[in-house]
């Protein structure tokens, strides 16, 4: 028994508790070793398909006075189902899942399943060795729910392996660099999408086996696509078969109901408790270690920062200590793995180093940018001039954190409407503004994330029981937008000005941030060799030969116009390059004159003059 792991587990510093806890196949002894943490249990038996679910033969032995129990079951093997029959501190007898189970039955059944996680088909050694956090690289993330991306005929769920070929082809065609899977851990209720978790180490059996998931991730890596997974360190399901009051006491949850009861009807983890910290840190490390995950997007971080996510209730200091410890340890053990916060609060230094008092995340979703931008586009253009700052405000705070610009699943469910449907106007006007919105997103500093269906201009809100509306691509306006979206991704990856120095304020400069009367926004994305000028028109007016200030002399060539015919636009644009003249405009030394289409966006490229040696 590894004494170092035991010591670290009890002290709250363990990242590999899964190496001793759970069900481990013992080839030498031809059976399985079971180990569980339940300090207040009176007794525990291992029951399963190998002993007729009887508690007579396999009593667990308490191996220390701090609460760990173990048992060896001869003849047990991979694929066998099992549970722990726990006589709790109160004397109540309950059959519980293994908190460290590596696999589980498909709901509504709840048994844990012995799994062999060895996999000899990994071919991603170079990928894992060279992966990075992407700070100076293009990061274009496709967020998806595996179960509703595509549906297979005559089966409820598509398999991890079956989806691999089509998914990779689709991601490459649309110029995504990463895929982000909504939680892959086990969970009992389909409608929670995995965010109400029961099995923190258990790959959900909805989509296949552990090895099927490994196959998918390996294939994605071979195609140079990074894999991010949603991870939920805040709360867990209250179902009696799972973690809730595991040994008859609040083992994983807070002792007081006012602290333990979450707003989702789940139980909040007691993040002050060292063993709970080790459980969650090890779970995060487990997915990176065993499944080669390249990043973790951590859900509901505001509920870690503040009690119940409410600033008025004060900071949760114990939870803050936990998240700093988690991020510090993961960053040091797994170089190049992204740690991403979904945080709706204004708490400072979320993406700053823990050594500087930060929380240690690499990125944070920019929920403020998302909300402000969509609120602006919901308004009639007549009134947008009074809300001009909803577009410009993001750059006032952008450099305080490492932000990801996101339109996630949360924005397209529960009566919120989809992205295109939120926008003011007629059907045609919605699409024109949608194209300009996405030009804004892809040229704004920060990495990018879109939920599946956004690239199709989905009008139907997301429903986890239905696949994407792929039939939309039979309609010219949707097919044209899909082409436009892929083109934006291609340009984003091609031009260093759009990604290389996202978090350096020198890479962005407003041309005119104050033209509220015309609903115009113009700015420059800068790089060493080429600048990109971006002009966005959120009005229905055409601006012909409109003057804009620029920094460099030279010829400004249009590289994308959201109103080009091939994208379903009106065709107004700039067939010829715009030549800069030596005349001050917008407090900049040169002027170009650009045709700006109604509700349109224009991107212009200029090659910088080489400096004399």
Rounded-to-integer distance, Cα 161 and Cα 325, Å? 35
Which two three-digit tokens encode residue 48?
A: 């399963």
Which two three-digit tokens encode residue 505?
A: 């304020």
Closest residue by Cα to residue 213 from 333, 133, 103: 103
* Contact criterion met (CB below 8 Å) for 213 and 160: yes
The CA dihedral of 294, 401, 412, 287, to the nearest 10 degrees, is: 20
Rounded-to-integer distance, Cα 253 and Cα 270, Å? 5
Closest residue by Cα to residue 289 from 145, 78, 122, 141: 122
Sorted by sequence, the CB contacts under 8 Å of residue 256 that are 6+ apart come out as none
Q: Is the Cα dihedral 477, 479, 480, 482 positive or negative?
A: positive
Sorted by sequence, the CB contacts under 8 Å of residue 213 that are 6+ apart come out as 160, 184, 203, 207, 291
Helices 210-222 and 160-173: angle between axes, nearest 10 degrees: 20
Which two three-digit tokens encode residue 340?
A: 């991403």
Rounded-to-integer distance, Cα 432 and Cα 280, Å? 45
Which residues partner with 35 through β-bridges? 22, 70
Element spanning 378, H or E: helix 367-378
Rounded-to-integer distance, Cα 199 and Cα 186, Å? 5
Rounded-to-integer distance, Cα 371 and Cα 407, Å? 10
Among 98, 247, 253, 342, the active-site one is 342
Which two three-digit tokens encode residue 459?
A: 């009008």
Find the distance separating the first CA and the last CA of the chain, reported in whole Å.
66
Which two three-digit tokens encode residue 134?
A: 């992407």
For residue 69, the SS3 value is strand
β-pairing verdict for 140-144 and 185-186: unpaired
* Contact criterion met (CB below 8 Å) for 331 and 285: no
Closest residue by Cα to residue 1 from 53, 94, 70: 70
Which residues in 269-375 belong to E strands, given as ranges? 295-298, 338-341, 363-365
342 is catalytic: yes
* Contact criterion met (CB below 8 Å) for 104 and 143: no
299 is catalytic: yes
Closest residue by Cα to residue 303 from 332, 345, 339: 345
Rounded-to-integer distance, Cα 77 and Cα 119, Å? 17
* Contact criterion met (CB below 8 Å) for 229 and 297: yes
Rounded-to-integer distance, Cα 611 and Cα 604, Å? 22
Rounded-to-integer distance, Cα 376 and Cα 383, Å? 9
**DSSP type of residue 106:** P
Among 80, 299, 512, 552, the active-site one is 299
Rounded-to-integer distance, Cα 366 and Cα 396, Å? 13
Percent of residues in the chain assigned helix, strand, coil, to nearest 5: 30, 25, 45
Catalytic residues: 299, 342
């Amino acid at each position: 028994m590894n004494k170092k792991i035991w010591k670290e587990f009890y002290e709250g510093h363990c990242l590999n508790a899964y190496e001793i806890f759970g069900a481990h196949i013992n080839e030498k002894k031809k059976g399985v070793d079971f180990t569980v943490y339940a300090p207040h249990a009176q007794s525990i038996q291992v029951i399963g398909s190998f002993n007729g679910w009887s508690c007579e033969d396999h009593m667990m032995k308490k191996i220390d006075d701090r609460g760990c129990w173990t048992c060896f079951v001869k003849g047990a093997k991979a694929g066998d189902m099992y549970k722990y029959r726990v006589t709790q501190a109160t004397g109540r007898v309950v059959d519980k899942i293994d908190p460290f189970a590596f696999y589980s039955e498909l709901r509504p059944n709840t048994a844990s399943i012995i799994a062999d996680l060895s996999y000899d088909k990994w071919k991603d050694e170079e990928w894992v060795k060279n992966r990075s956090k992407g700070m100076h690289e293009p990061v274009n993330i496709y967020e998806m729910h595996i179960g509703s991306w595509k549906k297979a005929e005559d089966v409820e769920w598509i398999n991890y392996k079956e989806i691999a070929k089509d998914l990779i082809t689709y991601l490459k065609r649309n110029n995504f660099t990463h895929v982000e899977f909504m939680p892959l851990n086990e969970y009992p209720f389909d409608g929670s999408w995995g965010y109400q978790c029961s099995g923190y180490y258990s790959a959900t059996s909805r989509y296949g086996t552990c090895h099927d998931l490994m196959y998918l991730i390996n294939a994605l890596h071979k195609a140079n696509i990074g894999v991010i997974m949603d991870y939920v360190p805040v709360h867990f399901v209250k179902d009696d078969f799972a973690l809730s009051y595991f040994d008859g006491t609040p083992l994983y949850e807070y002792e007081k109901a006012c602290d333990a009861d979450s707003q989702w009807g789940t139980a909040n983890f007691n993040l002050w408790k060292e063993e709970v910290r080790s459980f969650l840190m090890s779970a995060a490390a487990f997915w990176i270690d065993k499944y080669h995950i390249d990043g973790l997007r951590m859900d509901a971080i505001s509920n870690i920062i503040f009690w119940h996510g409410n600033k008025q209730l004060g900071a949760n200091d114990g939870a803050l200590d936990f998240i700093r410890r988690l991020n510090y340890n993961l960053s040091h053990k797994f170089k190049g793995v992204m740690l991403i916060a979904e945080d709706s609060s204004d708490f400072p230094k979320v993406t700053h180093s823990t050594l500087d008092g930060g929380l240690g995340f690499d990125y944070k979703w920019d929920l403020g940018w998302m909300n402000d931008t969509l609120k602006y586009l919901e308004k009639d253009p007549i009134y947008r001039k009074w809300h001009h700052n909803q577009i410009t405000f993001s750059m006032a705070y952008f450099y305080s954190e490492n932000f990801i610009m996101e339109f996630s699943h949360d924005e397209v469910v529960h009566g919120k409407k989809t992205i295109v449907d939120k926008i003011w106007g007629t059907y045609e006007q919605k699409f024109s503004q949608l194209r300009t919105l996405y030009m804004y997103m892809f040229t704004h500093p920060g990495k990018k994330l879109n939920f599946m269906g956004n690239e199709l201009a989905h009008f139907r809100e997301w429903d986890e029981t239905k696949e994407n509306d792929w039939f939309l691509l039979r309609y010219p306006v949707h097919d044209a937008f899909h082409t436009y979206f892929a083109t934006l991704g291609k340009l984003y990856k091609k031009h260093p000005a759009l990604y290389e120095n996202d978090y350096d304020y020198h890479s962005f400069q407003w041309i005119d941030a104050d033209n509220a009367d015309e609903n115009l926004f113009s700015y420059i994305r800068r790089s060493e060799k080429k600048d990109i000028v971006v002009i966005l028109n959120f009005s229905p007016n055409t601006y012909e030969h409109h003057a804009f200030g620029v920094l460099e002399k030279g010829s400004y060539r249009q590289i994308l116009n959201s109103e080009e015919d091939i994208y379903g636009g009106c065709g107004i644009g700039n067939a010829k390059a715009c030549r800069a003249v030596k005349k001050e405009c917008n407090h900049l030394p040169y002027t170009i004159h650009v045709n700006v289409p109604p509700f349109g966006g224009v991107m212009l490229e200029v090659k910088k003059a080489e400096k004399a040696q």
